[in-house]
Structure 1
């Protein structure tokens, strides 16, 4: 496979998966313009072995398709699951204010098994983020310091009973929401009875960021 073929395959994958150059560049530990320069300018001339391996595993393809050897162990990636890196944002729910989807707030990525991720979310990976819970207003369901996976592709259009990250009065919160079946009003609840709930809120007054689909915590 020629170097031009490598760039064409990578460009096609980026378009099909709705990825972006900067995120993939950060995935392989390069500066944000690295992948774009490789595809558009041919610099570098070829992907390094480690970069090729990481990208092939991320997209779930054989390294051969990115210019790797004709026979390699990564062919197994066609049938096995790959890891999807989800950004961990430097934002605390219920600690606001602050922009939620600002790419500058990314401080790490957490790799999730692709098949598992598809079971918990139907959204594209760019709609997923991990943030930290601050405070105890949602105990016992969520605890202070928990990491939560937020699906921004599952927001106000599909709103239903569940736990959501939302912004109200410029403060980022994680709360349980119960929409009214008869109107555009919602109930915003804290699972901890020591904290107040808002029993009758206008949906237009709340910015629904996304649904919480997973929680992870360190055992104490």
Structure 2
């Protein structure tokens, strides 16, 4: 039975709780591009480079989105996604470094694991994690991301979800020698805005992408009830 690539893409978007406009911007298209493709059938088929990018983003085969069948290849016995499905609890290392939500800081311990925090595997799957080996928990310092993130909050960061899959969201990034957590927004002209949620702190509506290294996407946050 032939796969309907539009239905497959729509199901992936719903399952991962993505939005049409954000995916369109990720592809460098106008914000309505993906919604028009899924809902109205225009364009009739995805451009090859768009299909390839979406398949990589959702970690599915191009065939699932209307591409040609892929040549069969052996699957490792302990593939990360299979390991995630099989486990009940995943121990995620808490790194000994601070992501500043203020002016930017970096502790000197360079990410050595201090301890591990347990996460339920179903929760990680719901968050869209493919390979748990790319996960770290780090602690926020500063208040520039209030009310989304407060000083002392722990954040779950997926380093496998970084620049190559960039879309609107909250990320940990490195700017020269500073590690910080900020909201990133893709501009229609291809530029990048680096934003503080707290209006009392500085934002960079047109950041120099060449000076920013994206470490990973923030998937979850937890902290003391205030």
Match of 2:207 among 182, 189, 201: 201
* Alpha-carbon distance in 1 for matches of 2:198, 2:125: 31
CA spacing shift, 1:90–1:133, aligned 2, 3 Å? same
Higher RCO (CA < 8 A, seq sep 6+): 2
The offset of 1:17, in angstroms, is: 3.9
The offset of 1:201, in angstroms, is: 1.3
Q: Which structure 2 residues correspond to residues 102-181 of structure 1 after superposition, within 5 A? A: 102=111, 105-181=112-188
Question: What do residues 101-137 of structure 1 show as CA deviations (whole Å, max 9, x unaligned)?
Answer: 74xx101101111111111033301101000000001
Contact kept, 8 Å, 2:97 with 2:110, in 1: the verdict is: no
* Alpha-carbon distance in 2 for matches of 1:98, 1:131: 11
Q: TM-score, normalised by structure 1?
A: 0.61
5+ unaligned residues in a row in structure 1: which ranges? 1-13, 19-58, 62-77
Indicate whether 1:16 and 2:78 are aligned.
Answer: yes
CA spacing shift, 1:202–1:99, aligned 2, 3 Å? farther
Indicate whether 1:97 and 2:106 are aligned.
Answer: yes
* Alpha-carbon distance in 1 for matches of 2:141, 2:114: 17
CA spacing shift, 1:191–1:60, aligned 2, 3 Å? closer
Q: What's the secondary structure of 2:207's corresponding residue?
A: strand
Q: How many residues align?
A: 147
The offset of 1:182, in angstroms, is: 2.7
Q: What's the secondary structure of 1:118's corresponding residue?
A: helix
* Alpha-carbon distance in 1 for matches of 2:173, 2:113: 19
5+ unaligned residues in a row in structure 2: which ranges? 1-75
In the alignment, which residue of structure 2 is the partner of 1:5?
none
Note the aligned Cα RMSD (angstroms).
Answer: 2.6
In the alignment, which residue of structure 1 is the partner of 2:54?
none
Question: What do residues 9-31 of structure 1 show as CA deviations (whole Å, max 9, x unaligned)?
Answer: xxxxx96246xxxxxxxxxxxxx
Question: What do residues 177-202 of structure 1 show as CA deviations (whole Å, max 9, x unaligned)?
Answer: 0112332x210010011101011112
* Alpha-carbon distance in 1 for matches of 2:78, 2:118: 21
Q: Which structure 2 residues correspond to residues 28-107 of structure 1 after superposition, within 5 A? A: 82-94=88-100, 95-98=104-107, 102=111, 105-107=112-114
In the alignment, which residue of structure 2 is the partner of 1:27?
none
